[in-house]
Each structure stands twice: as structure tokens, then as C-alpha cells.
């Protein structure tokens, strides 16, 4: 199916707190035509990721915000529909970071990675074999430095980052304790992903259960959620623990700092007395030069069946906003991907 | 002067908040006699350092607390008064970590470092050429990784750690901004230590002054105080900033966490979006194996006049508690050392 219009979702307004449908607007514009040296990309899969919440805000951050009325940003797996570019031909699959939430975009090849003509699982480039997997790999191995026998804790254990962190941790000989929302996800983390334990953060005695699961304390806490999970983790951190800080999904929708007790001195005191390292990182900025290492390892592990991967596929661009809103609430189960168009 | 009694200061009770004189007790006991393989150490200089506040508490920390009625711990520079130990002879100077706040102690040579027979500045082993200097050196260079042209901020700028951090920063080609309490200390940091700027944290517009002094932001914040200084530093941290976390003197006397706004999510968000590293360290636990590097560099810099060093000398063991209480309030000016006895 091809058509002459380009559907796109733009940022209509900035959210205050959790995003709502009103913050997005679906538009139809004319499908663009590639000039000499350009190609037309047709989006097949759109990745939805928590970091996008940050781009909807104009608070200072590591990347510029999406401007009002601009197309929402995001990684996409596309096919070249028409090419006037010498290096690309029609039908090829690519991973692109300049397309975002829309059917079509013109590309000069910048920020485009070739995926071949008949890739086995093209959408994996948005997940385990792409940015989320790369994030898990470098954060865990370079910042976390896990040693065999150590205990790793990771939340959002069935998401594309958490699931990869845990499975790499098992490959490296560690005890892996996941945290996830609900019994089904926890069972999946243990039975399919091979985690040693997985604790439901919705349980009333969550902190107690986590403590019991980490009877030798925590050596690496891969931080992607923040909030009450981090509060439960803090007392369990061992001497010389490492905290790769990759995300804080629980606080992305917060409009102001919580009132009550100031836990900052508690954290700093813990970091000091336990000689702990916390290190924030943004995967391509900090580790772009090491993508090759990751690609080699992850493809080998996937081929050997050592890494399992689950996608949560949503159909249709018009369902992207709802799916994204649900992502921030943990409603997805696996890597959230929107299929926008059929393959050519 | 030698005598037959051993004066010592023991921990009488644990402080609640700031320590008071009542938490210490001066005792006189019989001067011990060394057996075969032992020596008698006579304390000349006792080091007073902020970490000792932690040892007075029984809250979980990196080191065991001092037991009630036990001698307060601390680094000392001693002379061997009598020796039945084959490797030591009377009159030799040593740095010892097993003596603490008292005139005399028996030693088997464990945790003792030889300083020679006629060291030029024996007390320097408690400061710039010892633990505080080593802390400054490894924290700044190994965790902080300063690059020429970057901006380093350090508080307690005229103390033995802060002064050394700043001066090593200058040697490494950085812009160094100190923070100290009062105009006199700030002037000293600039005029004698060679800091580019030094801000008085008592000034009402302290945060504003710090911001102006760091017009290119902060690349390395050497954390030894915490509290309001850290609050003023946080918004100024650059992308990829490093925070060696060596101490938190402003919160050592706190009996509970402050009420009000919870700044923990703010800190974590900052660490994430700016890709910042915070790393706590305990000098001998983390870097003991690298003491040689430090000793070589610091002695060379001292010999070349590139590092200035100031001591705040207090006379008499009985004045140690008051001096220590003042240390936690920033009343000292330079490395606080108590001279307990005359040299032999």
C-alpha cells in the first residue's frame, strides 16, 4: 500500500504532568518527493521509548525539545520507497533517527543505518539489537562492571532495557533480581528470561520481598525507574556498589519535587560511606564509538538463543499517542513498537 | 619530658547532633611497657579530621565505631621512646594509626609507617603528605579526571584536602574556584594557594557569587561538605561533570533528615540528563595500593614550592575535644593538629 498523503503526529502542546491525547495532533500533509541525492523513507515500525517524555518538555535537558507543531521524534525502521541517492535503492531496510512519528520522510542518508534487503527481524533494531539493547549492554558492562557471583537488580525487567540487562547479567555469571509490575511480568522474567527472582513492585511488602531476594545485598543497581524502587534499593546497596543511571521513568511526569523529607543527604551519605558510584549516561553520546562491540555480542547471543526478546506491537500511527501514554504507566509488556505501514 | 602516666581521651558517650565536651573523658592510666618484639610510641602530633565524627556514632558506616570507654581513634605522628622491636630504634619518627588520642601506646609495627630519624616536617605526614593530601590527590585525579581549562570547585578550600585539591588543579591547568568560611580564608586561598577565585559561603548572595565565578559551569566538584554548598553547585554542573565524594561535613552532626522538599529526584534527574558521575571513596580502602605515586608527586611539588601548606596547631591533649568540636564548625584555619608532647 502506498498513497499520496503523509500522516504525521505533531506535538500540539506541552504536557503538564502525564501526557494526554490533547498534547498530540494527527495531521495529513502531502507526501514529499526526493530530489537528487535524496531518498524517500517509508516508516514501517516506530519505536516508543520513555525518553520521549523529556523531548515533550522544554525543561533543560541533554537534547533539544520538540518544538510545538513539529513532528514527534523517535527511532524508526523504514524501507526506502524511492531513491535518488547513489548508496540506497528501493526496498532496502534502514534504521533512521530523523523520521519520527510519520509515514514518510526525505533523507539524505544522515543518521541512517542500513539493515539490508531482507533482514530477519527488522524491528529488533529498535529494541534488543538497537538503542535499548545498547543502553543495557554499555550501562551494565562499562559502568556496572559486574563480577561473577554479584547481585544485579534491574527494574522494568520485561522492558527492552531491563530484560537485556538481566540476561547479560546471567551470561556474566551474576545473580539477577528483576522488578516488574504484576505477576505475569514477574513470571515471564523468571521463566523465559531466566532471572533468579522478580519482585512485583505493586506488592504491599515490596521492599521486604526485595530485601529477601537480595540476601547478599546489591552490587549493581541498573537504575531506570527511580522513585519508590530506588528507595527500597538504597538500604541494600553493598560497599563499592555501582549504579548505572539510565532513566527515571517514575519521575518523568512529575510537575514538582515531592514534599516531605529531603532524602538527598541520605543518598549522599550512603554513596560516601559505602563508596558507591552513580553515573548517568546517554547511550550514543557516551558510547557511540563502541557500537561495534555491542552489535557483535548481541547478535551472537541472539543467534545462540541466550537472549530472549519480546515485542509489544501496536497497529497504526493513530494509536501511537495512547500507546505512549500507557508506556509511562507501565501498561506495555515488552518493547513497545508501533507498526505504521505494511512493508513494501 | 617523659613521665610514668599515660593520658588518654576516651569516648564517654555518643553525641546526639554536635559533639560536646561531655562526650569525651580524659583519663590517666599507667604508661605501658613494651614486651619483646614491641615498641613504645610517644605521641607528638595528633591529627583531628572530620571523619572522626562518624566513628563516634554507632550508625552503620564504612568503619566500626569507637566503643564507649575506648580511646578515640586518629592518625598520630610519634617517636619511638623505647624499642624491643628489631626494626625500630628509640628516637625514630613514625606515622601510626593504632595510637589515637593518647600519650603512649604499644605497637608491634602494624599500621606504622617510618618517617626517618630527623624528618623535616614530621607533622606533614598527617596532612598534605598523608591521608588528607592522598585523598585530595586520588579523588581529584582518578575520579575527577580534570582536563586543562576545566573548572574545579572545592569547598573547605583552606583545609588540608581542599587546599591540596585546588593546588593540584592549578598544576593540571584548570580554573580553580574555592569555597571557604570568611574573608580571611578566601584571601589566603587566592593569594597564597593560587586559587582563581574563592567564595565566602557565609555571604548572603553566595549562590550568585559562585555562579559568577563559574561562568563556564563546573566540570569537577570535589565534594567534602554537602548541604547548601552542594545545592548551589548543582545547577552549575556541566555535562559529563565528575563529583568525587570525599566527605559531607555539613551533615555529620545532623540527627535526622531535613524536612521540606525532597531534592533526591532533582539530583538524580541532573545526574541523568547531564551524564554526571558521583563516586564515593574511602582513601586507603580504594587507593591504598597507589600510595607510592602520590608520595612521589607530592614530595616533588612540596620541594618545588608548587604546593603550600598551612597547619593550625593546638597545644595539649586536653584541648583536643574543643578543637575537634570547632573543626566541625569550620573554626580551624588550615590542617588541625594537636601537639600532645614535645619531641624527645
Phi/psi at A296 (nearest 5 deg)? -65, -50
**What are the chain A neighbours of B266 within 8 Å (beta carbons)?**
257, 264
pLDDT tens by residue, B98-134: 999 999 999 999 989 999 999 999 999 999 999 999 9
Residue A127 is predicted with a pLDDT of 96
The pLDDT value given to residue B340: 97
A268 and B54 within 8 Å at the Cβ level: the answer is: no
pLDDT in tens, A201-241: 999 999 999 999 999 999 999 999 999 999 999 999 999 99
Residue A1 pLDDT > 70, yes or no? Answer: no
Mean pLDDT for chain B overall: 95
Average pLDDT, integer, range A170-181: 98
Determine the average pLDDT of the residues in B148-152. Answer: 98
Residues in CB range of B296: below 8 A, 6 or more apart? none
Do B266 and A257 count as a contact with CB atoms less than 8 A apart? yes
pLDDT at A255: 85
Cell numbers at residue A210, please? 526485595
Q: Do B261 and A263 touch (CB under 8 A)?
A: no
Decide if A257 and B272 are in contact by the 8 Å CB cutoff: no
Confidence of residue A60 (pLDDT cuts 50, 70, 90): confident
pLDDT(A306) > 90: yes
Residues in chain A, how many? 344
Q: Which domains does chain B have, with CATH numbers?
A: 5-127+310-339 (3.90.180.10), 131-284 (3.40.50.720)
Name the CA radius of gyration of chain B, rounded.
21
pLDDT of residue A2: 54
- Contact yes or no for A280 and B267 at CB 8 A: no
pLDDT digits (tens, 9 = 90+) for A130-154: 999 999 999 999 999 999 999 999 9
Quote the pLDDT of residue B77: 98
pLDDT classification of A3: cutoffs 50, 70, 90: low
This model of the complex carries an ipTM of 0.89
Residue range A262-296, pLDDT digits in tens:
999 999 999 999 999 999 999 988 999 999 999 99
Across the interface, whether the CB atoms of B258 and A261 are under 8 A apart is answered yes
A37: left (phi over 0), alpha (psi -120 to 50) or beta: left
Choose among A226, A258, A282: nearest Cβ to B275.
A282
Chain B hits for A254, CB-CB cut-off 8 Å, are 265
What percent of chain B has pLDDT above 70? 99
Contacts of B277 in chain A (CB under 8 A): 277-280
* Confidence (pTM): 0.91
Which residues of chain B neighbour A262 with C-beta distances below 8 Å?
Answer: 257-264
Task: Give mean pLDDT, residues B5-21.
Answer: 96
- Give A319 to chain B, closest Cα distance, Å: 29
Q: Is the pLDDT of residue A105 over 90?
A: yes
- Closest approach of A143 to chain B, Cα-based (Å): 10
Pairs from B255-260 (Cβ < 8 Å, separation ≥ 24):
B255/B16, B255/B17, B257/A261, B257/A262, B257/A263, B257/A265, B257/A266, B258/A261, B258/A262, B258/A265, B259/A260, B259/A261, B259/A262, B260/A259, B260/A262
Amino acid at each position: 500500500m502506498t498513497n499520496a498523503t503523509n500522516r504525521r503526529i505533531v506535538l500540539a502542546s506541552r504536557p503538564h504532568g502525564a501526557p494526554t491525547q490533547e498534547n498530540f495532533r494527527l495531521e495529513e500533509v502531502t507526501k514529499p518527493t526526493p530530489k537528487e541525492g535524496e531518498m524517500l523513507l517509508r516508516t514501517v515500525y516506530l519505536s516508543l521509548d520513555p525518553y520521549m517524555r523529556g523531548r515533550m518538555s522544554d525543561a533543560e535537558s541533554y537534547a533539544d525539545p520538540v518544538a510545538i507543531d513539529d513532528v514527534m521524534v523517535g527511532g524508526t525502521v523504514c524501507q526506502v520507497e524511492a531513491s535518488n541517492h547513489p548508496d540506497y535503492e528501493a526496498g532496502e531496510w534502514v534504521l533512521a533517527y530523523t523520521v519520527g512519528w510519520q509515514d514518510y520522510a526525505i533523507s539524505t542518508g544522515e543518521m541512517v543505518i542500513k539493515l539490508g534487503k531482507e533482514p530477519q527481524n527488522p524491528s529488533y533494531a529498535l529494541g534488543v539489537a538497537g538503542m535499548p539493547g545498547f543502553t543495557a549492554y554499555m550501562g551494565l558492562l562499562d559502568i556496572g562492571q559486574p563480577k561473577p557471583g554479584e547481585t544485579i537488580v534491574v527494574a522494568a525487567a520485561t522492558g527492552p532495557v531491563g530484560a537485556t540487562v538481566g540476561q547479560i547479567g546471567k551470561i556474566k555469571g551474576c545473580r539477577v533480581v528483576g522488578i516488574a509490575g504484576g505477576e505475569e511480568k514477574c513470571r515471564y522474567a523468571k521463566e523465559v528470561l531466566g532471572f533468579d527472582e522478580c519482585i512485583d513492585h505493586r506488592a504491599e511488602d515490596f521492599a521486604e520481598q526485595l530485601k529477601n531476594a537480595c540476601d547478599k545485598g546489591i552490587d549493581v543497581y541498573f537504575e531506570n525507574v527511580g522513585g519508590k524502587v530506588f528507595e527500597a534499593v538504597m538500604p541494600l546497596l553493598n560497599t563499592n556498589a555501582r549504579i548505572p543511571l539510565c532513566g527515571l521513568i517514575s519521575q518523568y511526569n512529575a510537575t514538582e519535587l515531592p514534599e516531605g523529607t529531603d532524602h538527598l543527604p541520605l543518598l549522599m551519605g550512603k554513596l560516601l560511606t559505602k563508596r558507591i558510584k552513580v553515573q548517568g549516561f546517554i547511550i550514543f553520546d557516551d558510547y557511540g564509538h563502541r557500537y561495534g562491540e555491542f552489535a557483535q555480542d548481541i547478535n551472537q547471543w541472539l543467534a545462540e538463543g541466550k537472549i530472549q526478546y519480546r515485542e509489544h506491537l501496536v497497529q497504526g500511527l493513530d494509536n501511537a499517542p495512547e500507546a505512549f501514554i500507557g508506556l509511562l504507566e507501565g501498561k506495555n509488556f515488552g518493547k513497545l513498537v508501533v507498526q505504521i505501514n505494511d512493508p513494501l
